[in-house]
Amino acid sequence: MTNHWIDIKNADSILIMGSNAAEHHPISFKWVLKAKDAGATVMHVDPKFSRTSARSDFHVPLRSGTDIAFLGGMIKYILDNEKYFKEYVVEYTNAALVVGKEFGFKDGLFTGYDPKTRTYDKSKWGFEMDANGVPKRDKSLKNPRCVLQLMRKHYSRYGVDAVSATTGVPAKDLLKVYENFAATGRGDKAGTVMYALGWTQHTVGVQNIRSAGIIQLLLGNIGVAGGGINALRGEPNVQGSTDHTLLYHIIPGYMAMPHNGWQTYDEYVKGNTPVSKDPMSANWWQHKPKYFASLLKAWYGDHATKENGFCYELLPKIEKGGDYSYLFLFDRMYRGKIRGGIIIGLNPMNSVPNSNKLRKALDNLEWLVTSELHHSETTDNWHRPGVDPKKVKTEVFLLPSAHRLEKEGSVTNSGRWLLWHYKAVEPAFEAKPFGDMFCGFMGRVKKLYAKEGGKLPEAVTWLDYPEKYDPDDLCARINGRFTKDTEFKGKMYKKGQQVPTFTALKDDGSTMSLNWLYAGSYTEEDGNKAKRRSTEQTEMQKNIGLYPKWAWCWPVNRRILYNRASVDLNGKPYNKAKAVIEWKDGKWVGDVPDGGWPPMATGKGRYPFIMHKHGFGQLFGPGRQDGPFSEHYEPVETPVTKNLFSGQLNSPVYKFVSSDMDKLCKPADPKYPVVLTTYSVTEHWCGGGETRNIPNLLEAEPQLYVEMSPELAKEKGINNGDGVVVESIRGRVEAIAMVTVRMRPFKVHGRVIHEIGMPFCFGWTTPGTGDSTNRLTPFVGDPNTTIPEFKACCVNIRKADKLTELAT
Amino acid sequence: MKLDRRSFIKLAGSSAACLTLGQLGVSLAPVKAYASGIKISGAKEVVTVCPFCSVSCHVIGHVKDGKLVNAEGDPDYPINEGALCAKGAAMFSMTTGKHRLQKPLYRAPYSDKWEEKDWDWMLDRIARRIKDTRDKDLILKNEKGDTVNRLESMFLLGTSHAGNEECAIAHQAMRSLGVVHMDHQARI
């Protein structure tokens, strides 16, 4: 989230799209309803009518996978009707930047496309530079190659008729949402966007969010109270686990994973540190070497020196452009190329697409370590229905893990707040925290290498790694320490003392930090700030619900990101009634500003979007794999044969693998005419591995069902409560029919298309509840993230003759 | 004057000038009798964070004699203000239920059953598996001759249920071993 949960109350217009916040982030809705009570309009755009829709001012159903068409229509509406916040757009976004002549777009493809590799050469999308190497700007916005004019041209195709025929949303409903949300394109109004997996889980997931980013920048809604792009992050600590990076492509603190093209520390630093020639651009990532060196120093301790590139050469290097995500991992596993691994607190045999393939793939492992609260479809895959365990070779280790109340440590919420949880009781039975498991086996692996030697032993033996899991000490190490006596801002710090902030980090080996973003969270001066529980606030902070002394928030306790875009060039808030920061008597008051420089008008300021090289909000985003503007493409499995916006039916760069189990049905396949979307329920958590074991939760939601419209039910001869079979080209799933007006047929391309919806929280280890819905979904991924397309695929549905997976 | 729950209790308890309900003519005897019998009286309050969605509602666990006796929303936390959804409200039963895994379990290759083992046995064997895999499969150079130090045949999946400190050491451990196949819920 650019903002935070409480801040939702400040919005004048709330667009909930790709999320069912009331059911999946129930407590967030407290703040949505506060905004509504204060007069905000709440709009829910989603295929299914849910409790979010029920509490919104209105619900607008749209066909799954057509969000970009919907939002592209809104961008066109904002531009055509001059609803954008002009001063903000000119001064703070890249609207005025002039794009290079090589950029172009034709029939669904941007320039630079290579059909052989299915990738773009992004160098074709650069900006024009002046003689000093600074991007050319035309603040009049008249240059036909400036971003705003190119954007006008790009989205000119997104007229209401084409959008309506694609999304299935009637024109009047489109306009209702566009008018309401676009009305926030002025200084004294704010609109917020709340999204979740309904946007990310598509082959155009990133561009769904980019579309909202474009809208929010046009309307001047980024950096302000009640604005922002707010990802309702799903998992309990998914913000923290992303920051600390249980992902292949980055290392902690959002730095790139080393690849084979960067063989040395110097090559890595050169390849990853952006340079701006514009004195007005803060270009914050210019400091990356300090954060990178401090991370390596934290990993390898005294062994990491400036002379040896802080042990950089010991690190693994991915193959440049290589993909090591779930999709490719499971495909390699299916092909027998993976020997063993660790799956903890995760149930991919239920919650990752194409489960039938995944379940077979897992059989190919020699060994598997798991750690869970309960048995799951993953831990017990070796004796799943229909499989003879005597033929499965995998050696499986299942370790009982501690529950939240049984361990202490920190987590980071969606609003980036660092929160400490205390240990209430000893872990039940023989359970232990994951931390004990990691320290337990790594200590042993280190000893084995010390004793026996082996391949590249120093990568392991030189590691500065805790022998015993101590969350408090690790939390302090995440903040970072001085590794020698150092003076910082007139104060002496001893070796081993905590760094006060990330500006104290250096690339000479004198500091260590496991994550620069968290520097400042645990200091000599204030201790562990995750534990703070003070509601102290100034009147200005109270007015917008900021609690600067409750816990701590990255970066530097800044609660609303890019907040310098909430003030004009003189540092005065655009919205005086809901000011986030203000320049008063020579200093900033309110939230922690995005950099302490004085206002822009003084000539000593910096552009507010400090994490971007040029300092501007990116209406034109040249860094993405699938284009600098968003473009509608149909889901990979689609009920239509044409894209009304171009000749390119699907994303030209979506990711996929090919095997005998990765089948995709053809466009508008008559065998699979119905669109399927999947979702969670309030009472179960994602794949359900945990909550299905809680009797009171299972009683509330006991069995797999499929929601379908009365019209489709009639067509298929299905009654409410009937057992049904849902089939895709990849698998079949049994469910109970729930015939409901919550699902409605869509009028798309001049004909009726039906959509059904299913939860995915049931699995065979809880007998009688049903089994993985993801046996139906395809494993195809977004080109930027490889997040799979759970939310839209094609199936058929029929009444079941007999049920075997469900208790009746 | 806005009071949070704790300052209210403190104020009510310390202020002799405060009118009590008793002084207003209300008999507190039945309320007191009930309070002395409720399960959280005398319990220690421990603050935790709900382990589901990332609203991160705060929950108070009540502990008596080393045992969890209750869990409920933390009214002082400015985000959830004491409220919890169905899952958060089930914190007590999910922590104390008998459905939990009780001991480390081991399934030998081609076996049709779990066997109970102790933690040390499991960790020794896991460490051996990891080291043997790494020594067999670590790729020091790619086909072009670039140094890559990659262990492609081992992976880590999960988890956003882990705390920040656990994630930090999980990442560090995997990179030191050369693991590149690493993923979790953030990509789902």
DSSP-assigned letters across all residues of A171-186: HHHHHHHHHHHHTT-S
Give me the pLDDT at residue B16, please. 43
| B59 interaction partners in chain A (CB closer than 8 Å) | 405
Residue of B105, B168, B186 with shortest CB distance to A515: B168
pLDDT value, residue A236: 82
Cβ contacts (< 8 Å) between A313 and chain B: which residues? 147
Provide the pLDDT for residue A98.
Answer: 98
Which one of A332, A346, A409 has the shortest CB-CB distance to B165? A409
Portion 129-188 of B in contact with A at CB < 8 A: 129-131, 133-138, 140, 142, 144, 146-173, 175-188
- Tokens found for residue A324: 């090591």
What's the rounded Cα separation, in Å, for the pair A586 and B157? 50
Number of C-beta neighbours around residue A213 at 10 A: 22
ipTM of the complex: 0.97
The pLDDT value given to residue A180: 98
Asked if B148 and A316 touch (Cβ cutoff 8 Å), the reply is yes
Q: Is B64 on the interface with A (CB under 8 A)?
A: no
Select from A246, A422, A479 the residue whose CB has the most chain B CBs within 10 Å, as the one to mutate to test that interface: A246
Interface test with A, best of B7, B56, B84 (most A CBs within 10 A): B56
> What CA–CA distance (Å, rounded) separates B166 from B158?
11
Whether the pLDDT of residue B28 is over 80: the answer is: no
Q: ∠A421-A422-A428 over CA atoms, to 5°? A: 110
Q: Return the amino acid letter for B184.
A: H
Please enumerate in sequence order all residues whose Cβ is within 8 A of that of A272, keeping only pairs 6 or more positions apart, or say none: A255, A256, A262, A288, A292
Report the length, in residues, of chain A: 808
Alpha carbons A282 and A503: distance in angstroms, whole number: 14
- Taking 60 as the threshold, does the pLDDT of residue B13 lie above it? no
Residue whose tokens read 């039910």: A713
Average pLDDT, chain A: 97
User: B112-168: per-residue pLDDT in tens?
Assistant: 999 999 999 999 999 999 999 999 999 999 999 999 999 999 999 999 999 999 999
Instruction: Note whether A478 contacts B168, CB cutoff 8 Å.
Output: yes
Using the beta-carbon criterion (under 8 Å), do B167 and A700 form an inter-chain contact?
no
CB pairs under 8 A between A and B: 473
Rounded distance, CA A538 to CA B16, Å? 31
Residue B25 pLDDT: 61
Q: DSSP for A620-645? A: S-TTSTT-SS----B-SS-S-S-BTT
Query: Are the Cβ atoms of B164 and A244 closer than 8 angstroms?
Result: yes
For each of the domains in chain A, give its residue range(s) and CATH number, in order of start: 249-319+471-530 (no CATH), 326-459 (3.40.50.740), 674-799 (2.40.40.20)
Compute the distance between CA of residue A366 and CA of residue A370 in angstroms, rounded to an integer.
Answer: 14
- Nearest Cβ partner of B188 from A351, A424, A428? A351
Asked if B149 lies within 8 A of A459 by C-beta distance, the reply is yes
Instruction: Report in angstroms the alpha-carbon separations of A243 from A3, A260, B3.
Output: 17, 24, 35
Residues B59, B84: Cα–Cα separation, whole Å? 8
Q: Are strands B147-157 and B139-141 parallel, antiparallel or unpaired?
A: antiparallel
pLDDT range class, residue B98, cuts 50, 70, 90: confident
Using CA atoms, how far apart are residues A509 and A292, in angstroms rounded to an integer?
11
Please report, for residues A245, A493, A543, A546, A721, the alpha-carbon distance to residue A250 in angstroms, rounded to integers and kept in the order given: 7, 31, 38, 31, 47
Cβ contact, residue pair A405, B61, below 8 Å: yes
How far B35 CA lies from chain A's nearest CA (Å)?
22
Q: Which residue of A has its CA nearest to B104?
A: A399
Q: Which fold has domain B41-100?
A: Phosphorylase Kinase; domain 1 (3.30.200)
Measured from the Cβ of residue A516, the count of other Cβ atoms closer than 10 Å reads 29
Task: Give mean pLDDT in consecutive 10-residue pieces for chain A, a chain of 808 residues.
Answer: 97 98 96 98 98 98 98 98 98 98 98 98 98 97 98 98 98 98 98 97 98 98 97 90 98 98 98 97 98 98 98 98 97 98 97 97 98 97 98 98 97 97 97 98 98 98 98 98 98 98 98 98 98 98 98 98 98 98 97 96 97 97 97 98 98 98 98 97 93 95 98 98 98 98 97 98 97 98 97 98 94
**Is B48 within 8 Å of A421 when comparing Cβ atoms?**
yes
Q: Does B29 score more than 80 pLDDT?
A: no
Q: Is B84 on the interface with A (CB under 8 A)?
A: yes
Select the residue from A244, A408, A410, A696 to test the B interface by mutation, using most B Cβ atoms within 10 A: A244
> Is residue B64 classed as helix, strand or coil in its secondary structure?
strand
pLDDT tens-place string over residues A69-82: 999 999 999 999 99
Q: Could you give the residue range(s) of every CATH 3.30.200.210 domain in chain B?
A: 41-100
Contact at CB, B137 and A319, closer than 8 angstroms: no
What does the alpha-carbon distance between residue A327 and residue A56 come to, in Å, rounded to a whole number? 36
Which residues on chain A are in Cβ contact (under 8 Å) with B61? 405, 424-425
Give yes or no for residue B12 having a pLDDT over 80. Answer: no
From chain A, the residues in CB contact with B160 under 8 A are 235-238, 240-242, 246, 345
Determine phi and psi for A151, rounding to 5 degrees. -65, -40
First to last CA, chain B: 45
pLDDT tens-place string over residues A169-224: 999 999 999 999 999 999 999 999 999 999 999 999 999 999 999 999 999 999 99
Which B-chain residues 6-45 have CB contacts (< 8 A) with chain A?
Answer: none
Instruction: Choose the closest CB to A390 out of B53, B110, B160.
Output: B110
pLDDT, tens digit, 9 for 90 and up, residues A656-682:
999 999 999 999 999 999 999 999 999
The whole model's pTM is what?
Answer: 0.96
Helix (H) or strand (E) holding A400: strand A395-400
Nearest to B64, CA basis, from B98, B40, B33, B89: B40
Q: Is the peptide bond before A740 cis (omega within 30 degrees of 0)?
A: no
